[in-house]
Amino acid sequence: MQLFFQKIGEGPVLIILHGLYGCSDNWISIARKLSGTFTIYMVDQRNHGRSPHHAEHTYNAMAEDLNELFITENITKASIIGHSMGGKTAMLFAALFPAKVEKLIVVDIGPGGYANIDNHSLQILAHLNIAQSMLSINFEAFTSRVQIDKELAKTVTDVNIRQFLMKNVHRNHDNSFCWKLNIDAISKSMPAIMGSISLKDIVNESVTETYPSLFIKGEKSDYINSDQKLLINKYFPRAKIETINGAGHWVHAEQPEEFIETVYSFLTGFYN
């Protein structure tokens, strides 16, 4: 699948992969700060932003989409930043195509799953609520974004999350509204999205790292918990894990300056 991307800057290639419900636009301010040093590709993953929609939404498919980008853009090697869902795509891509990865940065996610949907983990419940809320919006009943926001507020009470979701509201040529992302495919694929990536099936219980890896955890987030740290240490034994204070799951949005400093230092500095 040919993905939509935005490209800015000069220098070594840096690819940024957004998380669930996100898009390349979410990373423009971060990319601008790094564009003096890197050629940056901000990518819309499948079923998000301006990339094509498809019924299949798996990490294998998303990793292959990324590889197609490398091929069509003649990228031989790049550093990759992946947040949440994008982090899992990045990890799997790095396992499948290690020679194409210069450095790997994974933001607030681990390689393991976040419980079976039937177990109702906090992460699962939050994403199920968001998906159901988005599916329940009847756009024909609304003539303004304010009305849509008020309806969404009935089930998505967190203002920051709701503002983030509202960036996916698209106005058609006939002035009607729709979701920019493919929420139907995403909701049906939630078990796969929240599940683990099968690194052990690729690397026989161990990743032979040919690239440095950094995992960035938000202090207030529980996505990289003790179980996930064990898996990170297992599959990425040379990886650094750094915590950004005051940040939750959306580390780059909540603490952008510290995030940029951490990323820039890792990408440009010497790695032991």
Strand partners, 82: 17, 106
> Is the pLDDT higher at 107 or at 125?
107
Catalytic (active site) residue 84: yes
Tokens of 38: 């890197």
Residue ranges covered by each domain of the chain: 5-113+197-268, 117-190
**With bands split at pLDDT 50, 70 and 90, how would you rate the model's confidence at 137?**
very high
**With bands split at pLDDT 50, 70 and 90, how would you rate the model's confidence at 117?**
very low
Each residue's pLDDT tens digit, 193-212: 989 998 876 765 445 567 89
Kindly state the average pLDDT of the residues 61-87.
Answer: 98
Catalytic one among 24, 84, 133, 189? 84
Catalytic one among 18, 83, 127, 249? 249
Burial class (CB in 10 A: 0-12, 13-18, 19+), 188: middle
| The model's pTM | 0.92
The dihedrals phi and psi of 20, each to the nearest 5 degrees, come to: -60, 135
The dihedrals phi and psi of 271, each to the nearest 5 degrees, come to: -110, 125
The CATH number of 5-113+197-268, from 1.10.8.60, 3.30.70.980, 3.40.50.1820, 2.30.110.10, is 3.40.50.1820
> Is the pLDDT higher at 115 or at 197?
197
Catalytic (active site) residue 170: no
How many of the other CB atoms lie within 10 Å of CB of 53? 15
Each residue's pLDDT tens digit, 26-43: 999 999 999 999 999 999
